[in-house]
Amino acid sequence: MAETNGSDTVTVYIDDEPVVVPKGITMIEAAEHVGKEIPHYCYHQKLSVVGNCRMCLVELGWPMKDRATGEPILEEDGSPKIGWGGKPGIACNQPVAEGIRMRTDSDLVRDCRHGVMEFLLVNHPLDCPICDQAGECKLQEYATEYGRGYSRFIEEKNPKPKRTVLGPRVILDDERCILCSRCVRFMQEIPGDDVLGFIDHGSYSTLTCYPGRELDSNYSLNTVDICPVGALTSRDFRFQMRVWFLKPVDSICTESSVGANTQVWAREGKIYRITPRQNDAVNDTWMTDSGRDLYKQVEAEDRLTTPFVRGIEATPVQALRETERLLRPSERVAVVASTHSSVEEQYFLRRIADRTGAQRYAVRHWGEEDGLLLSADRTPNTRGALLTGLLDELPKPDLRELGAAIDRGEIDTVLCIHEDPLACGLTVEQVRKVAWVRMATHASPADEHAFIALPSLTVFERSGTFINQQFRLQKFRAVVPGPAGLLTDLQQLASLNSLLEDGPVASVQPDHAWKELSAEPGPFAGLRFRTLPSEGVALDPGEHARHPFPERQSLKYEADSFLASLPAATTAS
Amino acid sequence: MPHPKERRLLLSHADEPGYTGSYEDYTARGGYKTLEAAIRREPAEIKKEVLDANIRGRGGALFPAGRKWGFLDPNSDKPVYLICNADESEPGTFKDRQLIHKDPHQLIEGMMISAYATGTKLAFIYIRGEMFGGARILEEAIEKARANNLVGENILGSGYSCDLIVHRGAGSYICGEETGLIESLEGKRPYPRLKPPFFPAAKGLYMCPTIVNNVETLCQVKHAVELGGKEYAKIGVPNCTGTRIWSLSGHVNNPGYFEVEGGAYTFGDLIYDMGGGLREGRSLLGFIPGGSSTKVIKYDQRYRGKLQDGTEVDWGVEDIPLDCDGCNYFGSSSGSAAVMVMDDTTDVVMALANLNAFYAHESCGQCTPCREGSLWLKKITHRMIAGEAREEDADLLKSIADQVEGRTICAHGEAVAWPVQGFILRFRDEFIDYARRQARERAAREQETTAAVA
C-alpha cells in the first residue's frame, strides 16, 4: 500500500493502480487525474451531482476494518482485505478516501454500460443524420465505445414533442432527451432562474419550461453546450454546419471586462459559432448568449473594407503614410484610445502618443452588471490601457473635453481608435475642425467627415492579449482572415510608429510588442505571447488596482475581496 | 370477527362491534395512557424500550425501528422531524388503511410517543393522495387529540410540545420511498435522493435529521412501550417480534387482513385456514408473499437446509412461517406482508403484464435503467398478451430485469426487476409455451385464410 503523503491527498486504487489525488474530489475526477475517462452523462463538474444516468457505474471496494477493534483486516499476504460492495456504485457520487478501490473495466462494469446504453437508445429516435449534435454527441461516442452494437428492442418508441421552441435561442427535441437534468440544474444553480423542469413521469418524462415562461435567460445557450445529446440545440447554429468540419480557435469574449474564455468555430474563413472554453479562474465552463452573437460583426454589412484618404480610396500603406504626414508636423495631436484594443496595440499607440506629444482621451462603455459573466465595463481591456501606460486614469463618460479642446484650437489632428466621435458627445463641426483619422472596423456617420479612414480588424481576425477585470492577461488568436488586403490594427499602429520614428517598416506580430513590453520592469516582465498559457496569467496590478473601477461582482470576481487579496503595499492609498 | 389463529394487538378493537375509533371509544379502552406514562419518562428510556422490542420496519424493508432511531446524532442542534409513511400503495397491501380508518388515535398515540422519544417538535403523516377518507379521519382525530392536549403545546403539562400535520400526497407510488417522500413533502418532484452521502436520520426533511416510519411500525411502538420492550419482544419469534398484519388477496375464498403473532403460523395456515382455502376444484399455482414487488413463490418449491439460527428444515411452500425472514429461503421476501394467491387458472403472462404496467407507470423517471427498463418490460408483456409473443421474450425479459436490478438510486429498480425475475425463474416454460401456442394459433388462422381465398 502506498504511503499517504501529507494531509491534503489520499491514495486510491483505480484498476489496481495506486493514484495520489487531492482530498474532496470524487472517484470520477480521480480517474480523470490518470487520464481515464469514466463515461457519464448527468455528471458535470460545475453542477451538483444527481447520479441519475447510471453510466458511471463502477465496482467500488473499501479496505475492511474489524468492527470491534477498528483495526484493518489483512489478507494472508499482508495486503488489506477489500470489501467489494454487492452492487455497482456510481463513481460521480463517491468521494475519494484512503485505500478505496475502483474497477472501471470489469465484466460487471461492462455489463452495466451495455445495459445503460441499450436503455438510453430504446426510445431515442436514432436520427443522427439530421441531428446537429452528431459528431460531438455523447450518445454516439459511448454507444460506439461501450454499447453492445445491436438492439433487442422491437417495440414502438415513445413519441414526444419535437421542435419545441423553448426560448429565443434554444429549441428542444424531447425525443432525443435522455433526462440527465444538466440543463435543469444549470438554470437553477448558475443563473438562478428555475425555468426548466420535467413534467409527467417514468419514460414519458418530458423537459419543458415553467408554464407561461420561456428560456430567455442570457445564459440559455449554456444548456445547449452541456446537453450531452441533441435535445437542446441553438437556433442560431442549427442546421448550419456539421461540427466535424469546424475548427475551434481559442479566443476571449470581448463583451465585457470579465474576459470569458471562448472557442470560436470556423470553416473556410467563416465563423459559425462561439462556445465557452473552461477557465476555472474566470468563467468556469460558461459564457453569455450575447457574447456568442459577436461573431456576426465579422460579416456585417457596414464593415469598413477600404481605406480612404480625403474621401478617395487608398491602399492601407498610402493611408498610413498620409496619417504619418498629418501627425509628424503637428504639435496639437490628440489620440482617442480604445479599451477594445489589445495590449500590444495599446502599447504601440502609447509610443505614438509619446512621440507626438499627443493629448490622450478615452471613452468608457459601462452598463449594468449581472453578477455572473457580464461586468459593468463592457470593454475587454481597460486594464491593458492602464498597464501599458497608454492611459493614467479611467476613461471618461464621453469626449466632450476633447470637443472643448478642439473648440479652443488646441487640437488640429486626432487619431481615433474604434470610437465613434458623434456617439461620444462630439459635434460634426468639431470633427470637421480637425484632421480626423479614424481606425475602425465598422462604418460610422462620422466617417464622411473624417480625413482618413483606416479599416481595422475584428477580434476574430487578429491575435493579441487582453487584461480582464482580475488583471489576468489572456490571449486570443485570429480565427479567420480579415477582408482582403487589410492590415491588422497592430500592424497599422506599429508601422505608423516606425514611420514616425523613421525606423524600418516590417511585419509585426504580437510577440514583437512583447519583446519590448517584457523588457521593462513591471507587470509584463519576462512574459511572451507565444508562451502565455491558455488559461492566462494573473498580473500584479500595482498602483493601478486603486482606480475606481465600476465592476463589483461577477462569477469569479468580487471587488473588495480582490483588493484585499493584493499585497498591502499596492492597495494603500 | 377475528380468526381464532389471529392475535390482535394493533387491531384489537378495530372490529369490535360498536367501536368507532373515536377519541371517546379509544380512551374508554385505555387509549393515551401509554403516552401519558411515557411522557413522564426520559426519552432515552423510551428509545431503549423500542430498541429492546426489536420492531422491524413494517413498510417492507424490515429494518429495526429502534436502530433507525439510533442513527440520530444526539449532538445535532438541528430540529428533528418524524414522518409517518402512510403512502401505502404497494399492490396487495391494505393493512395501514385499516389502522388509519379503524383506530386513528392508536397511530396518533404511537406517533406522539415516538416523537417524544426522538425529540421531534414537528411530526408529519404523509398520506397517499387517494386515501382522502383516511386523511379526513386523521385530521379530525388530531383535532380531537389537540383539544385534549395530547398533540400541540405542552402536552399533558409535561413541558414537551410537538405538532402533528397531515400531508396528502398527489398519488404516486414512489412517494412511499422515504427520500422520495421527503422530497415530495418539501414540495418537489418525488425523486428519491442519493444515499450516500447521507441518510434521512442525518439529513432528511429540509436537510435536518428525520425519521420515517411506517404506520404499522408506529402503532407497534405504542404497544412496545406499553408492554415494555423486553416483554413485547417475547411476542412472536426473535426475527419477527410482535404481530404482523397480513393482507391476503387473490384466489382464496376469504381474503382480508389477519394480524398474526410473528412466526406462530405458516403460509399454509394463512391460505387454507384463515383465507378459507382455494375455490372448489382449484389447486395452488403460487403466491406473491410480500407485496407485488416481491418475487413469486411457486407451489412446488422446497427448501431443505439450515436456517440462519442453524435449525435444519425441510419446508414446502405451505410450511413457510408467517414471520419476517421465512420467505428469504424461497428466494423472496415477506416485504409488506401482502400475500397474493394465484390458483392454477392464472394466466402468468397476463399477471406479469399487469405488474409490469404498474411499475412502469410508477417509475419516477430519474434513473435510466428503471425509467427505460420498466416501460420496455411493460411493452414486451403487453405485446405478448396481444398475441405477438415470441419464444425468446422470456429470456429477454429476464435479461432486461437483470440490467435494472441493483443499478438505480432507489429500490424501485428492484421493484421493477423482481417480479419479472421471479416469474421467469418459476414459469419460464409457461412463457415459452405461451408463445408457441400463439404461433400455432397464428399458423392455423393463416391456413384458414389461405384456404378461404383458394
* Mean local confidence (pLDDT), A20-44: 94
Q: Which residues in chain A touch residue B366, judged by CB atoms under 8 angstroms apart?
A: 50, 52, 179
Q: What residues of B are in the A interface, CB distance below 8 Å?
A: 172, 189, 191, 194, 196-197, 360-369, 371-376, 379-380, 383, 396, 399, 403-404, 406-409
Q: Chain B contact for A150, CB < 8 A?
A: no
Q: Which of the listed residues B171, B203, B234 is the one where a domain comes to its end? A: B234
pLDDT in tens, A167-202: 999 999 999 999 999 999 999 999 999 999 999 999
Please check whether residue B443 lies inside any domain of the structure. Answer: yes
- Which residue of B360, B362, B409 is in closest CB contact with A51? B409
Map A379-431 to HEC letters. Answer: CCCHHHHHHCCCCCCCCECCCHHHHHHHHCCCCCEEEEECCCHHHHCCCHHHH
Print the SS3 string covering B206-269: HHCCEEEEEHHHHHHHHHHHHHCHHHHHCCEECCEECEEEEEEEECCCCCEEEEEECCCCEHHH
User: What would the mean pLDDT of B321-339 be, rounded to a whole number?
Assistant: 95
∠ CA A96-A100-A105, rounded to 5°: 100
Q: Are residue B391 and residue B259 in the same domain, yes or no?
A: no
Contact B376 A122 (CB under 8 A): yes
Decide: A218 and A370 in contact? Cβ < 8 Å. yes
Size of interface A-B (CB pairs under 8 A): 97
Q: Is residue B263 part of a domain?
A: yes
List of domains in chain A: 9-105 (3.10.20.740), 115-297 (3.30.70.20), 308-571 (3.40.50.740)
> What whole-number distance in Å separates Cα of residue A33 and Cα of residue A290?
34
| Same-domain pairing of B303 and B352 | no
Quick check: bond before A191 cis, omega within 30?
no
Record: contact A179-B407, CB cut-off 8 A: no
Give, in degrees to the nearest 5, the angle at Cα A526 between A520 and A531.
135
pLDDT at res. A480:
97
Asked whether residue B15 is assigned to any structural domain, the reply reads: no
Q: Looking at residues A76-99, what average pLDDT do you find?
A: 90
A111, A155, A198 ranked by CB distance to B380: nearest: A155
Residue B279 shares a structural domain with residue B406: no
Domain of residue B293, CATH code: 3.10.20.600
Q: What is the DSSP letter of B254?
A: S
- Asked if the structure places residue B12 within a domain, the reply is no
Among A177, A201, A205, A229, the residue to mutate for chain B (most B Cβ within 10 A): A201
Distance separating alpha carbons of residues B162 and B160, to the nearest angstrom: 7
- Using DSSP's 3-state secondary structure scheme, residue A22 falls into strand
Chain A, nearest residue to B360 by Cα: A202
Q: B375, A203: Cβ pair inside 8 Å?
A: yes
Question: What confidence tens digit (pLDDT) does each residue in A343-388 have?
Answer: 999 999 999 999 999 999 999 999 999 999 999 999 999 999 999 9
B404 lies in some domain: yes
Indicate whether A3 pLDDT > 50. Answer: no
Give A115's contacts in chain B (Cβ within 8 Å): 369, 403-404, 407
Q: Are residues B176 and B77 in the same domain?
A: yes
Is B8 a member of any domain? no
Convert the pLDDT of each residue in A277-320 to its tens digit: 999 999 999 999 999 999 999 999 999 999 999 989 999 999 99
Strand pairing category for B312-316 and B338-343: unpaired
Please indicate, yes or no, whether residues B272 and B329 belong to a single structural domain of this protein: yes
Per-residue pLDDT tens digits for B351-394: 999 999 999 999 999 999 999 999 999 999 999 999 999 999 99
B368 with A51: Cβ contact below 8 A:
no
Instruction: Report the run of H or E that residue A337 belongs to, with start and end.
Output: strand A333-337
User: What band does A482 get if pLDDT is binned at 50, 70 and 90?
Assistant: very high
Instruction: Examine the domain organization and report whether B86 and B163 are in the same domain.
Output: yes
Domain identity same for B188 and B310: no
Of B234, B253, B278, which residue sits at a domain end? B234
C-alpha cell at A160: 414526444
CB atoms within 10 A of CB A190: 20
A571 at interface of B, judged by CB pairs closer than 8 A: no
Report residue A335: phi and psi, to 5°.
-115, 140
Range of the domain at B377: 348-449
Q: What is the pLDDT of residue A569?
A: 53
Mean pLDDT of A29-37: 92
Kindly state whether A155 is in contact with chain B, defined as any CB-CB distance less than 8 angstroms.
Answer: yes
Alpha carbon of A5 to those of A74, A99, B311: distances in Å?
Answer: 22, 13, 51
Are residues B302 and B357 located together in one domain of the fold? no
Q: What is the CATH number of the domain that holds B381?
A: 1.20.1440.230
CB B367 to CB A54 under 8 A? Answer: yes
B60 min Cα distance to partner chain A (Å): 20
CA A244/CA A239 separation, integer angstroms: 13
Question: Would you call A42 an interface residue with chain B, using a CB distance cutoff of 8 Å?
Answer: no
Which helix (H) or strand (E) segment holds residue A436: the answer is strand A435-440
Q: Mean pLDDT in chain A? A: 93
The confidence score (pLDDT) of residue A467 equals 97
Per-residue pLDDT tens digits for A465-476: 999 999 999 999
* Euclidean distance between CA atoms A492 and A496, whole angstroms: 6
At A80, the pLDDT band (50, 70, 90 cuts) reads: confident
pLDDT, tens digit (0-9, with 9 covering 90-100), for B48-66: 999 999 999 999 999 999 9
> Would residue B13 count as lying in a domain?
no
Distance from CA of B340 to the nearest CA of A (A): 26
Nearest partner of A167 among A196, A136, A188, A194, judged by Cα: A196
Q: Which among B315, B343, B371 is the end of a domain?
A: B343
Quote the pLDDT of residue A568: 63
- pLDDT at A573 > cutoff 70: no
The mean pLDDT of B104-132, rounded to a whole number, is: 96
Reported residue count of chain B is: 454
B73 and B177 co-located in one domain = yes
Residues B404 and B445 in one domain: yes
Q: What is the largest CA-CA distance in chain A?
A: 96
pLDDT tens column, B243-271: 999 999 999 999 999 999 999 999 999 99
Return the beta strands (E) in B17-173 as ranges.
80-86, 120-127, 163-168
Number of domains in chain B: 3
Identify whether residues B125 and B204 lie together within a single domain.
yes
Please name the member of B197, B372, B375 whose beta carbon is closest to the beta carbon of A120: B372
CA distance B69 to chain A (A): 20
DSSP codes joined into one string, B406-433: T-SSSTHHHHHHHHHHHHHHHHHHHHHH
Same-domain check for residues B224 and B266: no
Q: What pLDDT shows up at residue A68?
A: 83
Look up residue A80 and give its three cell numbers.
Answer: 488489506
pLDDT at A563: 92
User: Measured between CB atoms, does A114 come within 8 Å of chain B?
Assistant: yes
% of chain A exceeding 90 in pLDDT: 88
Shortest CA gap A197–chain B (Å): 10
